[in-house]
């Protein structure tokens, strides 16, 4: 994955999620007192998402912006945003 991301640095990146959610290389369900994993031990809680968002969102947003720029440069229309009333909640 890192090799592919390195070949496409404007649109691809790799975030070491294991490093974020397994401090010191050890599985944990809490980080700094925040319960980050649901009872299944895999999926993140809402609080865990909030805690991880500052590390995860910048590369996602950057990739999206780069992709939108590529779409515009190639003369194809980007998908329209989904109206808030259509989103699941």
pLDDT number for residue 81? 57
Is residue 52, in this structure, part of any structural domain at all? Answer: yes
Q: Buried b vs exposed e over 60-79: b needs ≥16 C-beta within 10 Å?
A: eeebeebeeeeeeeeeeeee
Where in the sequence is the domain holding 10, given as residue range(s)?
2-71
Is residue 26, in this structure, part of any structural domain at all? Answer: yes
Is residue 79, in this structure, part of any structural domain at all? Answer: no
| Average pLDDT of the segment spanning 1-14 | 84
Residue 89 pLDDT level (bands cut at 50, 70, 90): very low
**Total number of domains constituting the chain:** 1
Does this model's pTM top 0.85? My answer is: no
pLDDT number for residue 50? 95
List, for residues 50-78, the tens digit of each pLDDT value. Answer: 999 998 898 888 878 887 876 666 555 55
Is residue 63, in this structure, part of any structural domain at all? Answer: yes
């Amino acid at each position: 994955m890192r090799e592919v991301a390195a070949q496409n640095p404007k649109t691809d990146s790799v975030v070491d999620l294991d490093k974020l959610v397994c401090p010191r290389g050890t599985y944990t369900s809490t980080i700094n007192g925040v319960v980050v994993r649901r009872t299944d031990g895999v999926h993140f809680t809402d609080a865990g998402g909030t805690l991880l968002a500052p590390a995860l969102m910048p590369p996602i947003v950057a990739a999206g912006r780069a992709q939108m720029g590529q779409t515009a440069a190639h003369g194809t229309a980007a998908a329209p945003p989904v109206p808030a009333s259509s989103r699941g909640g």
